[in-house]
Chain A
């Protein structure tokens, strides 16, 4: 099984709404089309925020995992 090639990692550990989404928006703007952003979060609100943000903004949520209270998202920039 091939692993996702991460271009950049955004660690929002400990931060809560609105900052994970504010920082995700900033981070994605800095990437090129096709790049993969890894977002690490502990705010459980991101479980719904990030998938809906991907759908709304046209990005692809490649994976979403949760282990030990740490959420990890891989998002490919499409636009």
Chain B
């Protein structure tokens, strides 16, 4: 697999781990990974938003256990640190959806430097998702 595109919508701490882990796995083999963050997940591309990610709903009380498990697994427990590790592979690009940015308050002023920028979904879907060997949606 030479390329993979991922759209991330869910922003709770536990649910965002899977797309990040999949991206880390494939990028470590040299696969080019392009990730578009939409809806609430766009806030994960800000330092404050990434730090504020929590486990929602019925599993909320188990957050400490999950974070400890993430650290034990060898991943950085903070989402921003995982993003930095992914960026360090040289194979992952992070994009913020422009609509999501407008709605949820992410702009070029608060976007983390690891992100490539704010892009339209049409561009991502046509230029990245449609051309990728594999496409995932979380």
Contacts and interface: CB of A to CB of B under 8 A. Distances in A.
A21 B74 contact: no
Q: Per DSSP, are chain B's interface residues mostly helix, strand or loop, or mixed?
A: helix
Nearest to A14: B72
Contact of B21 (A17, A25, A57): A17
A21 B29 CA distance: 9
Interface in A11-46: 12, 14-23, 25-26
Contacts of B22: 18
A48 B75 CA distance: 21
B28 interface: yes
Contacts of A14: 72, 74
Size class of the A contact interface (CB-based, 8 Å): 10 to 19
Interface of B: 21-22, 24-25, 28-29, 72-75
19 contacts: A12-B74, A14-B74, A15-B72, A15-B74, A16-B72, A18-B21, A18-B22, A18-B24, A18-B25, A18-B75, A19-B75, A21-B29, A22-B24, A22-B25, A25-B28, A25-B29, A53-B29, A56-B29, A57-B29
Interface of A: 12, 14-23, 25-26, 53, 56-57
